[in-house]
Structure 1
Amino acid sequence: MSIPASNLGADHATVQMLLDRLHRRIGAAGLAAAAVIPGLSAQVDQHAAEVRDLLGIRGRRPTLAALASYADGLLDGATDRGWQPPQHDLAGWVGADGVTVRLTALCGLAFSAMA
């Protein structure tokens, strides 16, 4: 799904749709797995810190539009390289790839930004 970054800032519904879809496809299962797999939890935390640094928002909550724009770009690039969303059980999350962990972290950041 490709959404121009300029549209993400102006269209709250599009931002919410992208983040909701990402949460359903990856975030819900990934965050649940991270809650019980210590190594995965540490990876998700590290990716979240890296995303905050990349977006220039260290110490602040990211905007949903910034997170959606970043996630959209990440998904486009990963999909172009053949990445597919994970479809595995809890044990499969132990070896989750970097894109999947980064997207899980983005979902966690979006959840925090909405709180």
Structure 2
Amino acid sequence: MAEATRQTAARATLNGLMTWLGEAGLQAAAASAGLRAAIDQHAAAVRDALGDPERGPSVVALAGYATGVRDALIEAEWQLPPIAELDWARAEWPTLRLVAVCALARSTGYL
């Protein structure tokens, strides 16, 4: 697959995640210092896991990471409550990690 096609597919994955979960999570984080701090910690862990803590991960690596988390959650039969019913003050690790991916995607200009 050509690199441009991979990048386009990765951006589509990240856009879908942002639409599904990220916008609501980042909006909630803007109103809560504690949630914002938790998302920042998860974002730092993702940057570290993907090997480039200074510049941030590539769009393909970031989308691949998000897809891997999603696949692991499906395998574990974990389900996110409907976004409108989510208690952001008690958001679970998977929710925070996926919102952190969205925060990274936005901060690196992928979204």
TM-score, with length taken from structure 1: 0.85
Using the alignment, how far apart are the partners of 1:55 and 1:25 within structure 2?
23
- Relative distance call for 1:62 and 1:44 in structure 2 (3 A) is same
Q: Is the 8 A contact 1:47 1:101 kept in 2?
A: yes
- Relative distance call for 1:7 and 1:15 in structure 2 (3 A) is farther
Gaps of 5+ in 1: 1-5
Gaps of 5+ in 2: none
Q: Is the 8 A contact 2:59 2:105 kept in 1?
A: yes
Amino acid corresponding to residue 80 of structure 2 in structure 1: P
Q: CA RMSD in A?
A: 2.2
Q: Is the 8 A contact 1:33 1:90 kept in 2?
A: no
Runs of 4+ more than 6 Å apart: 6-9
| Offset at residue 17 of structure 1 (A) | 1.3
Amino acid corresponding to residue 101 of structure 2 in structure 1: L
Aligned residues: 110
Q: Does 1:44 align with 2:30?
A: no
Q: Report the equivalent of 2:56.
A: 61
**% identical equivalent positions:** 40
Q: Is the 8 A contact 1:8 1:15 kept in 2?
A: no
Per-residue CA shift, 1:1-51, capped at 9, x if unaligned?
xxxxx8888522211111111001110000000111121111100000001
